[in-house]
Each structure stands twice: as C-alpha cells, then as structure tokens.
Amino acid sequence: MRAYSLYSAVLFLLPVVAFAQLTVYPIAHSNPHTSSARQKAFEPLSLPFWDDFSSLAHTDTLWEDKAHIWINSGSAINPPTINVATFDGLDGNGTPYAPNPNQNLDTGPTDIMVSRKIKMTEVSIAEQNSVFLSFYYQWGGFGEAPDPNDYLRLELLNDTGNWIEAFTLRPTDAQEPDQFYYAELRINQNQYFHDDFQFRFQAYGRQSGRFDAWHIDYVYMNKGRTEGSRSIPDRSLYTLLSPAFGSYYAVPVTHLLTQPDQSLYPRFGLSNLEGITQPSNYNYSARVESYKNNSLLQEVSIQLRDYLAILPTMLAYEQRVIETDTLPSISNIDPAADSVVVSNTITLQADDTIRPDFGNIDFRVNDTISTVSILKDFYAYDDGIAEYAVGLTQPGNVAAYRFVMQTPDPDTINGVYVYFPTSYGTFASTVMFYVWDNDNGKPGTILLEELVPVQRNSNNQFVLREFTPSAIVQDTFFIGWRQASGRVLIGLDASNDSGEHLYVNTGGINNPNTWLQNTVLTGSLMIRPRFGPGTVAPVTSTEGRIKKPVALYPNPTKGEFFLEGRAHQLQVLSPSGRPVRIEETEEENKKRIKLVSPLPGLYIVRYFDGHTYQSQKIIIQE
C-alpha cells in the first residue's frame, strides 16, 4: 500500500475494459446496504469520526446520506480493510442517473455521500490546528476508470451553510490504478468550527451506468493528529477467504467425497495500518452442516487453529496474503448428504482495542471474516456476487469455459445455472449453450447444445436451465455460449480470477482452429454446470451439421401452429423457460399444436427428430 498526502488535485488513469473478443459492461445493482439511519433525527456527533465500512451497522450511524453508495468487497484492489464505498454512475437502486439510451455519454454529478453533523465547537482553540480528515482512495480498481475530466471532490460545510470545495481528485499518470493512496486535509479555519459541520464526497462522471468508479476506505477525522502521520493501531482483514476447493468456491458434494485431496488451503489478506512492526495471531474455525432433501442431518463445529502466530511479524504498513494450513476434514460430512454448507471463519487476535488517544474507536470491528460455501450439484468459480457483466463483441462468436472435475469418475452434466444480470440496452431473448469435451486443453467435440431463455435478474439470482438431453463428461470439459444477434451478458465476479480457463472463438462454432485463450479479462464468469441424473442422447448437431428441422408454421401465430415431419417428445417453453400446457393432435404427416392459455411473447418449441433434440422459436401474438 502506498502513501500520499494531498492538498491539491491528483489522480491516475486505467485502460478501457473492452477487448477484441470480450467486453466488460456495468450492471444494475440494488444496494442492500442502503442506510436506514439517515431517515432518523440524530444528535450531532463528537469527534472522532471513523468508518472503514467493514461494519454495516456502524456505517449506518455515521452518514446522513449514503443511499447512493455501493458498499462492497469485490470492486477494489487490495483496500486497507474489507469493504469499500464505491462511487459510480448508478444510484442506490441500481438506476443510471441518465437512463436515456440517447444520453449514455452524458456526464455530470453522480454518487454522493454526506456525513452526519459533527460538533466542532467541542474542539478547543488550542486543538484546532491538529484536526485532520483523512481517507484512502483508488480509482478504477476492477471497474471502469474515470476519464480525464472526471473527479471525486471533498467538500466541507461552513458556518453559513455553504459547501466549500476542499480539494478535487482527478486522473493523472502519476499514480497507478491498482493501488490505494492516502489523502489528508488539515481543517483549521474558523468557519468550520460550528456544531452543524459536515463533509461530503461528490463524484462527477458518466451518468449512464457503473462507469468512472472511485473507491474510498478508512475515513478518519480527529483532533490531536499531526501532518503526514497516518499510523493507526489497527491490524485488519482486507480480503474474504479464497476458494477452498482448488479454484472453486463450490463443487458437487459427490465429487468432493471421491477425491477430497483436490482442496487447497484458503488464504486471506491482512493489513498492518500502524507505522511499526506488529505481531498478529488468528483463530480459524469452521461449521459443517449436512443436508438431505433440505433437512439437516448433522452439524459439526470445529476449532481448526487457536491463536496461531503470523510469522514473520508484520512490517509497518504491510499488506500480506496469509495461507491457512488446514481444512475441515470430509469426515465431518454425513455420507448420506446431498448438500453441504461449510462456513469458515477467521478472527484476528491482534490485541486491537479501544485506546484513549484515539477516542472511542473500536479497531476490532474489521478483525473477523466468514465465507460460506454451498456444496451441492454444481461447480462455481465465482463467489456469487457480480461486480460487472461480460459479453462477446460480435454475433457468431463463441465463448467456452473450462472446468476440471474433482473426481476421476465420469458424471452426467444435466443443466446449468447462469446469472444474466440486469443492464441497459437491447438484449437477445435466447442464447445457445454448448458443452464440449477436451481436446488438448481446448474445446473439442460438441457433446450437447441447448437453447436457453435469457432471464435477466438483479441481486445475483441464478437461473437454472435443465439440459435435454444430458451429456456424460469426464476429467475436463467446457461449457459456453454463442453470441446471438442481440447482446447476451453473463455476470462477472471480479474478485476471483479464473480467466485462464476462458476461451473465445471468432471463427464460428464449426471452426476448432480459432480458439484463443483469454489473456486480458480478469474475473470469473457466473456460469455453474450442474450434475445429476439425466437422459443422454447422441448429438449430431450443430450449425452446418444439424439436420434440417421440421417445418413449423404459421409463425407468428395467435396460439395454434403445425409441425410437419418427425417430432417426438414435444415441449413448448414460455419466455421464462417453463413448459406450457398444449393440446396436440396428430394429422397426416404433421401435428397440430394449440397452446391452452396463449400469452404474447417469444416461445421455444423443442422436440426430438429421431436423431437429436431440436429447438425452434415461435412468436405468439395477441
């Protein structure tokens, strides 16, 4: 972590997150951390003011207005403590400040965060020259970088009720986008020593999405400070625990039980925010819950490590990744379980406490992290939280995501969980998914294809699409999609990087020689292949090799249509992907299909033609 004292404008610049084959997009997010406290009438605060955003309950008592701000742990790179406050072009409900598509390049004021009132008259005249406000900041991080004209501004409320600009941060090549920088401001002018004093952060940038990101952390204002002294008696956790199952946050429980030695020891990040070397210790505990048909079979709590020393001793202002040296044993899992919930908790024992010279600040609030892994029927590289979305740049391009199974046995892939995040613009209503076998580390033969309805959601809600038929895979396989004529976006977890497993093909689905391994996108796609029982049928598809589908007409229709040719195991799927009720009548060389309760929309007609499963689109009109 680097230090930087600020009294004037400074900043840095990050490249645009668009690549030859892939583009990263901002997404809408609802803010679960919107303050309820701001609705209440609070007495003005006394110094010190301190917020590292690690405790949401604590944060809610400090800010009069932070409803626009996204408190999160995944969009910044190596912050001082877990969680940051992110400023961008979306409000607290995930809505752009300028939602009109024709205004997507408009810039203006975006997110704002306003402190509660502070009783500055409590500061004696002799102490006024020792009042400093400090914080750490980063622009870009894992997000979209501010442009040269964008800024983050700090303003102070004076005794006449006017907001006064203190300083403004702007992009500059003098700083790096993956570092946090320290900023401090002496507050010693008479106009600020009143009982309605406040400060606020105001961002300015693109107003149409999660663009021009700024992240701040560790906001601290107090008297008795000296210029350039950023030393705080605080050891803090700054990352969540890393995946424990190889590269995966989740694996099928049946796979884990057959080959448990594939697991890795979790890691976590530790910061020493004090200007001297400091010893630290930690406790490591776990809870393992085994379930069968959603009923709890057993629960086991384990103390894995107790007051384990972190060696060598942490240096002044050091950040270090600590690797644990143990894991919960699989003997704690009930063999009859069909799902398991594993909760791992790290608690620092750093002797951080409430010190009189720092007022009433409790530095222990950032000393504990917990990570919950759900082991059921799927693999997941992602942690379940999307910071952004990713899409292919051109129709016809194909993306394939590699998975290495944690079992030596073959198994049946019978579906996929996908997170299609809510964003802004025009999107495809369906997308073709594929499963490939492995050909020397690249996608090989297509094992199945499935037309998947694109159900866009917020709040990281995955959609399950079952595969009919399923496919048998072993060791290594790929799952991915082909870009339709409309845009298709997949959730991107920026905090855990599995980008090396992503391949892109710009030559089309039938050109195996144009697969390129991703080298530029950082993060994990929110695509989770599911395993379990399924019917396996041969696939002779796809584009260029697929049998000519049977005739479907009329299309569009008001709810009745014909299928001419061999069509068995017929299904009609609604825009949400659910089967709808139909009446089926056999006629000479064709079938008459009637929807029982037709509603307008794009439907999928799925059938088996004697060789493979086929899908066709049909539009139902009023």
- Domain borders along the chain are 22-229, 237-375, 388-531, 551-620
315 secondary structure, DSSP code:
P
CA distance 607 to 531: 23
Cα angle 330, 335, 338; round to 5:
105
Q: Which pLDDT score, from 0 to 100, does residue 30 have?
A: 56
Other beta carbons within 10 Å of 510? 12
Length of the chain counted residue by residue: 622
At the topology level of CATH, where does 22-229 sit? Jelly Rolls (2.60.120)
At the topology level of CATH, where does 388-531 sit? Jelly Rolls (2.60.120)
For domain 237-375, is the CATH number 3.30.70?
no
Closest residue by Cα to residue 443 from 381, 398, 412: 398
24-71 pLDDT, tens digit each:
887 766 554 444 444 456 789 999 999 999 987 777 789 997 777 889
Q: Which pLDDT score, from 0 to 100, does residue 20 have?
A: 59
CA distance 61 to 36: 9
Other beta carbons within 10 Å of 146? 29
Residues of the chain with pLDDT under 50: 1-19, 32-39, 540-548
CA distance 267 to 247: 12
Q: Which pLDDT score, from 0 to 100, does residue 322 have?
A: 95
Q: Which pLDDT score, from 0 to 100, does residue 442 have?
A: 94
Q: Which pLDDT score, from 0 to 100, does residue 19 have?
A: 47
Query: Per the structure block, which two tokens stand in for 505?
Result: 């093909």
At the topology level of CATH, where does 551-620 sit? Immunoglobulin-like (2.60.40)
- Fold: same for 22-229 and 388-531: yes
